[in-house]
Copies of this chain bind each other. A is one copy, B any other.
Amino acid sequence: MTTVETTGDEGMYLFNDLPLKELKSKYDFEPTERWADELRLSSVRFNSGGSGSFISSDGLVLTNHHVASDTLHKLSSADRNLIDDGFLATSLDEELQAPDLELNQLVSIEDVTSRVAEGIEKNASPAEAAQQRRAVIATIEQESLEKTGLRSDVVTLFGGATYHLYRYKKYTDVRLVWAPETAAAFFGGDADNFEYPRYCMDATIMRVYEDGKPAQLEHFLRWNEAGVDEGDLVFVSGNPGRTQRIFTVAALKYLRDHRMPYVLDYLRRKEILMQQFGLDGVEATRRARDELFGIQNGRKAYTGMLAGLQDPNTIATKQRREDQLIAAIKADPELAGTESVFAEIAEIQTEKAKKLGESVTFRSRLYDLALTTVLRAAEDAKPNEQRLREFTDSGRESLVQDLLSEAPVYADLERVKLADELSRFVETRGGDDALVAKVLAGKSPRQRAAELVDGTELFDVAARKRYLDGDYAAVQSSADPIIQLALLLEDEYRQLRTHSEELDERERQAYAKLTQAVSKLQGNSGYPDATFTLRLAYGQVKTYTEDGEEIQPATDFAGAFEHESSHLGQTDFDLPESWNRHKDALDLSTQLNFVCTADIIGGNSGSPVVNRQGELVGLIFDGNIQSLTSDYLYTDQQARAVSVSGVGILHALRKIYGADALADSIGK
């Protein structure tokens, strides 16, 4: 499996297990411990899903515009459209505080595999093992939090063969410093998304604060001022979300024939829903925009992933590798019986296919708040180590930040989303289902959603706080219709979740066994599948060929203006007014975007790209369409990671956005 059989620049490596041999042999590069520590400590993770980096001693953070867009959206209103218009704070007091952002800096890594293993009884059933594992993990996290004061997460690696304790320094006071217009950040729109060549200023700068003042940072990235060249070795430090490279053929077929078509139907449904909502007018468009962008991005990514899986050659390649592995396992007497994990995993996929879409949650902010309110109250009555994962003490601060976020909740949007979720619930279970009848309470999905949204107090942060301070009895006696709905569904929710976690546990155990076998057969190097934790990838700035044409690795500002004029009259192909106004002041040959072969995936958005000296040269914001299969199969034939060039960001700040002072403070 991919834990060793890597090709090209494949790999998302743990910072405590870097591919030193490969880097030395392929690129004659030996990272020092200091080099790696500086890069790790300059990297941050966004709780909203994405990566970033510290870029100055006074707390500046660089990430993508599309990672920040959740915050830009929450900070916007009918009168202040940060998404369309961009933003620049010209002094500290103009910086805008994000309502619920949390940034994590990875401070240390500790292997706790044996302690987790000791917490599980030898002959525990999968359900018992899951429960015991949860308990020991909660205890480890809680002890670490008490000891260090740091956010402490136990991370499952190699499909459950390894457990590491990650300690993070948290930043929860994060403020917006600069964002360009979406027309510049997402130039080319949905049409250009996952395409290359690109010309996007997909960057935003924030600042972390401590005690109300800009955080003083010891570790941050210096910037390279020259741009990249073909062949340059570069490194990406970020938090890839999830890969599935260890997946067996049966698991990939489940994705191909069940999960991905299901998710795509779901995404298309929500895309049309958000589009329709936006037809109501300019303000409605603004309210739906952030969610619509995320949905479209997901839809395009999944379409590419499914296309790869539907190519018979993909499965054939994976099958060949799997056959070889099974043969090797069978030939090794010490691994006798291990091949049964393939059948076990296949069986789990069949069960998953049957359960697909079984859910009693409704995706809307109000219902999320209601369910979290109910579960929080119920879970808090239990000892810490018996609680559901997201309600243990170590995660409390993050939970509270989310529950009490002042981010606006739009009644009209909630009504439409909830009505659609109720309608989907009727579709999934059938209109005659007893629970459906209880949920609808004799009304149509639309009427019921209106009733729930009109009747709830959960728009009000004070009301949420009241529940948070109260116990389960207080929640139970609530007259709030959406709280009552969450209570009605609580039992069913818990049953479904327990069943699904049992399946996950069985799968985890099977993959752990498989990973151990692979390690025994092929040695213990390599990297685990991505888990939204910090990884290091490496690669080269490199051209590639598409439809017979050689694609140059870098684009420049001149190309952006040409791209605009060759797409006249098309939506999303107008550069913002600011770019056209300052065109004459620009050095049009300045690098804007570039590609490299580093192994990235969703979650890497906003990752810094650094050179051998550890200097920032770019900012990951996308992968091309050929890279979308990298979820389950890395290739560097055409697949490329796409970055905004660091020099491009500095140039835009100085020449387009009048942000000289900000540009001057970067890297210092």
Contact = CB atoms under 8 A, between A and B. Distances in A.
Interface of A: 189-191, 253, 256-257, 261, 264-265, 268-269, 271-272, 276, 279-282, 299, 306-313, 315, 423, 426-427, 430-432, 437, 440, 442-447, 567, 569-571
B190 A437 contact: no
Contacts of A426: 256-257, 310
Contacts of A269: 264-265, 268
The 6 closest A-B pairs by CB, nearest first: A311-B444, A191-B279, A261-B427, A257-B430, A268-B268, A310-B426
B306 A570 contact: no
Nearest to A433: B257
B261 A310 contact: no
B432 A253 contact: yes
Q: Which secondary structure dominates chain A's binding surface?
A: helix
Nearest to A190: B279
Contact of A257 (B257, B313, B427): B427
A377 to B, nearest CB: 31
A556 to B, nearest CB: 23
B279 A443 contact: no
Nearest to A572: B279
A405 to B, nearest CB: 30
A437 B571 CA distance: 39
Contacts of A307: 423, 444-446
A431 B315 contact: yes
B444 A570 contact: no
Contact of A440 (B276, B281, B312, B444): B312
A256 B431 contact: yes
B279 A189 contact: yes
A437 B312 contact: yes
A397 to B, nearest CB: 40
A282 B570 contact: yes
Given A190-B276, A279-B571, A307-B445, 10 more contacts: A190-B279, A253-B430, A253-B431, A257-B432, A261-B427, A265-B268, A281-B567, A281-B570, A312-B431, A312-B437
A265 B477 CA distance: 40
A446 B313 CA distance: 13
Residue from A264, A423, A431 whose CB has the most chain B CB atoms within 10 Å: A431
Given A269-B268, A310-B426, A569-B282, A431 B257 contact: yes
A431 B570 contact: no
A190 B275 CA distance: 10
User: Which of A276, A310, A445 has the most chain B CB within a 10 Å cutoff?
Assistant: A310
Contacts of A423: 306-307, 310
Contact of A311 (B253, B308, B311, B443): B443
A625 B261 CA distance: 30
A528 to B, nearest CB: 27
A428 to B, nearest CB: 9
A299 B272 contact: yes
Nearest to A270: B268
A268 B443 CA distance: 25
A570 B257 CA distance: 39
Nearest to A192: B279
Contacts of A306: 423
A310 B272 contact: no
A567 B280 CA distance: 9
Contacts of A432: 253, 257
Contact of A271 (B272, B313, B444, B445): B272
B310 A445 contact: yes
Contact of A431 (B310, B430, B440, B567): B310
A432 to B, nearest CB: 7
Nearest to A447: B311
